[in-house]
Chain A
Amino acid sequence: MDSQTDLDTANQPHQQASSISHSVEEAYQIAQTQGFALLDEAIDEQRLKDFLQDEQCGALATFEGWVRNHNNDSKVTRLTYYGYEKLAINQGKLIIEEAKRLFDIENAVAIHRIGALEIGDMAVWIGVSSKHRYPAFDACRWILDTIKADIPVWKQEYYQDEPSKWLSNNG
């Protein structure tokens, strides 16, 4: 049970994992050409929607993941996401490619944010375009579930009255 101070002074080991090595522009290029990237600043969802815009498509399904103010009974004050960037980009590419095989969609793109986030910030954005609506909904959900299972991103939550914790998606 490390104290807040211990974790702050030991922040060095996490420095590389809390920011991206690419420029922001490169990150968007990677997301648009390969399907997935990490970003360490607020996600420009309009830019991603504009990228997916397609006259052949009748549907766009999107998902936004927001930072919540509670986790069960604990009051969350802020959190930090850390990522293994290269593995995340490689794995994200596989996820988007698989989504295109599994679902009748035109295109899909997702970005996960890392670094320090405040309550209400957007942690992840997923967008899927398709000719018809059901594949867009289905693919969007599948991509989210698979991101949660496979993308190497970790979350450290900070609370009002308790020590911070590393969370995992499987409890």
Chain B
Amino acid sequence: MNITVLYFASLADKSHKGSEPLTLETGTSLNELYNSLQTRYQFRQQPAELRVAINDEFASWDEAIKEGDTIAFIPPVAGG
């Protein structure tokens, strides 16, 4: 599956990227995706500290990843 991952805040700091295209095996879960990125970039956050968004809407961690999806892991927000 070809997807795009977006990085923000401390995740963008650690990965040195705002986004990147990735190719995943079909059936890769959001947890598996985050785990591999966490290992690659040494993200400090555990999944429990993050929200996840798929195609510009908040999603639950158990949603399936599909071809063409844009995925973002959302660190704790600080607006307002």
- Residues of chain A at the chain B interface (Cβ within 8 Å): 2, 7, 10, 12-17, 65, 81-84, 86-87, 90-91, 112, 123-124, 144-145, 147-156, 166-170
Contacts and interface: CB of A to CB of B under 8 A. Distances in A.
Given A148-B77, A154-B9, 10 more contacts: A7-B13, A13-B7, A13-B13, A87-B57, A87-B74, A145-B80, A151-B77, A167-B78, A169-B77, A169-B78
A148 B79 CA distance: 5
B68 interface: no
A168 B18 contact: no
Contacts of A152: 8, 53, 72, 74, 77, 79
Contact of B80 (A10, A16, A144): A144
Contact of B74 (A84, A90, A148): A84
A86 B56 CA distance: 6
A17 B77 contact: no
Nearest to B53: A87
A153 B79 contact: yes
Contacts of B72: 84, 87, 152
Interface residues of B, number: 24
Q: Tell me if A's interface is mostly helix, strand, loop or mixed.
A: mixed
A168 B80 contact: no
A153 B78 contact: yes
Contacts of B16: 10, 12-13
Given A147-B80, A154-B8, A15 B53 contact: no
Q: Which of A13, A90, A124, A147 has the most CB of B within 10 A?
A: A13
21 contacts: A2-B13, A12-B18, A13-B16, A15-B18, A16-B19, A65-B80, A82-B9, A84-B6, A84-B56, A123-B79, A148-B77, A152-B53, A153-B77, A154-B75, A154-B78, A154-B79, A155-B79, A166-B9, A166-B75, A168-B76, A169-B78
A5 to B, nearest CB: 14
B77 A16 contact: no
B79 to A, nearest CB: 3
